[in-house]
Amino acid sequence: MVCIRPTRRPEDIAAPCDFSFVAELAPGGRYHFHDDSDAFVALELQDSAHELDFITPYDLGVSEVAESISAWATAVHHQNIEATFVFRGSGSRYHPAAGEKLSQPYIDALLSRIRRPLDHRHHPFWFGAVGATLLTKHADNPPGWADIPGTLRQLMSAHLDALAPLDLAISVAERPSELDEVLRRAAVNTVRIAPKTLYRQIEDVAGPGGRMLLVVRGGRQDFLDLFSHGERVARLLRVAGEGRTILLAYRIDADDLRTSSTSRLDLHRVFATRLPLFARHGLNARIHDLAAAPLERSQGFAIEVVADEAAVAPPPSSRRLHRLEDDRLYGMRE
């Protein structure tokens, strides 16, 4: 990308610039390619040994190259091959048509084997760049429902059915858990992130658009860490909206209840004081007891956040910001 005339303002940054700026800033634009190095050439400097392991001294088969490209190519990358790019050596006088005649049969062979483009907004390279772990599907692993509190199981099951087909599922946890296996079976893309990524970069992971289920499973301190910082809550609100569900599940150790003067009713009230934050942004938030039955030992609560279609205020994902000063996140990245 050399020069872009923007026709819209993106709602968020959800991919590397060379993967997304053309599609996000000027969707459906008229693109012109500088395809002859005599007219334009740019060099990107890098360490001499950078990605040296990927250089091979032998020819690669078309199927192998197509499989490699399929792992990362987006719609913009597919569009780039509409042009034939000619890199000239000293004194070269070959017409560009000669280069096209030489390379087009190979390109056609690649196109017959390559898979459909990836979405730049939920791209595996971007997930890795922001610290998310991409979870792949494993058909031979058990679902893992039994170890998830009953109420959380019911909420997840209902929203997985309602949101299907699910574009993105996000598990927020410090380490792998049974949630990973459940979510990875239900979504096109599934990632696990640490709480610190939720607090600082959730809008980078969730991105704009797409049907999403985000599940946080932590303890009382994780609840306090999230709601004690306005910037963290603001970021969470940015990724909520229509077709996107957030489940915040926080366990409370039974010992904490026994050794302190805090009752379950007190904890319920503490959780309830946070709900107006969501209502003010056109979201419907409800509190659920993690125990689905009186004898279940799951202690704690879950906050279910969904778009409220009856609300007057539009959700953050559909609002337009007219000035940078109106954006609560501008200049606040940690």
Whether 256 and 187 share a structural domain: yes
Whether 55 and 106 share a structural domain: yes
Domain membership of residue 17 (yes or no) is: no
Domain membership of residue 25 (yes or no) is: no
What pLDDT sits at residue 258? 60
Could you tell me the two tokens for 28? 């459906």
Whether 302 and 194 share a structural domain: yes
Whether 84 and 112 share a structural domain: yes
Could you tell me the two tokens for 95? 């017409």
Q: Where are the beta strands (DSSP E) in the chain?
A: 133-134, 166-172, 187-193, 212-219, 244-251, 283-289, 300-307
What pLDDT sits at residue 13? 75
Domain edge (last residue) among 68, 92, 118: 118
Whether 99 and 165 share a structural domain: no
Confidence of residue 161 (pLDDT cuts 50, 70, 90): very high
Whether 148 and 80 share a structural domain: no
Domain edge (last residue) among 87, 118, 149: 118
Whether 188 and 91 share a structural domain: no
**Residues contacting 276, CB < 8 A, separation 6+:** none
Could you tell me the two tokens for 27? 């969707």
pLDDT in tens, 222-269: 988 998 888 899 889 989 989 999 999 998 876 665 656 666 677 778
Instruction: Answer whether 156's CB lies under 8 Å from 182's CB.
Output: yes
Confidence of residue 195 (pLDDT cuts 50, 70, 90): very high
Domain membership of residue 289 (yes or no) is: yes
Give ∠ CA 130-239-14 in degrees, rounded to 5. Answer: 40
Could you tell me the residue range of the domain that residue 104 belongs to?
33-118
Domain membership of residue 2 (yes or no) is: no
What pLDDT sits at residue 271? 83
Domain membership of residue 210 (yes or no) is: yes
Sheet containing strand 283-289, edge to edge, reads: 133-134, 187-193, 166-172, 212-219, 244-251, 300-307, 283-289
User: For residues 301 and 240, what is the distance between their CA atoms, to the nearest angstrom?
Assistant: 20
Give ∠ CA 278-219-124 in degrees, rounded to 5. Answer: 70
What pLDDT sits at residue 60? 86
Whether 104 and 253 share a structural domain: no
**Residues contacting 57, CB < 8 A, separation 6+:** none
Residue type for position 228:
S
Q: What is the reported pTM? A: 0.74
Task: Return the CATH number at 270.
Answer: 3.40.50
* Residue 67: half-sphere exposure toward Cβ, Cα within 13 Å: 5
pLDDT in tens, 129-155: 888 998 876 655 555 667 788 889 999
Domain membership of residue 23 (yes or no) is: no
Domain membership of residue 203 (yes or no) is: yes
Whether 178 and 232 share a structural domain: yes
Give ∠ CA 300-305-311 in degrees, rounded to 5. Answer: 140
Give ∠ CA 71-143-212 in degrees, rounded to 5. Answer: 55
pLDDT in tens, 59-117: 889 999 999 999 999 998 998 888 888 888 877 777 888 888 889 999 999 999 999 99
| DSSP category for residue 245 | E
Count of structural domains, the chain: 2
Domain edge (last residue) among 118, 152, 182: 118
User: For residues 256 and 250, what is the distance between their CA atoms, to the nearest angstrom?
Assistant: 13
What pLDDT sits at residue 261? 60
Residue 105: is the preceding peptide bond cis (ω within 30°)? Answer: no
Hey, which residues does 245 pair with through a beta bridge? 213
Whether 200 and 275 share a structural domain: yes
What pLDDT sits at residue 194? 94
- Which is more confident, 308 or 316? 308
- Which is more confident, 11 or 221? 221
Q: Is the pLDDT of residue 207 over 50?
A: yes
Whether 166 and 220 share a structural domain: yes
Domain membership of residue 5 (yes or no) is: no
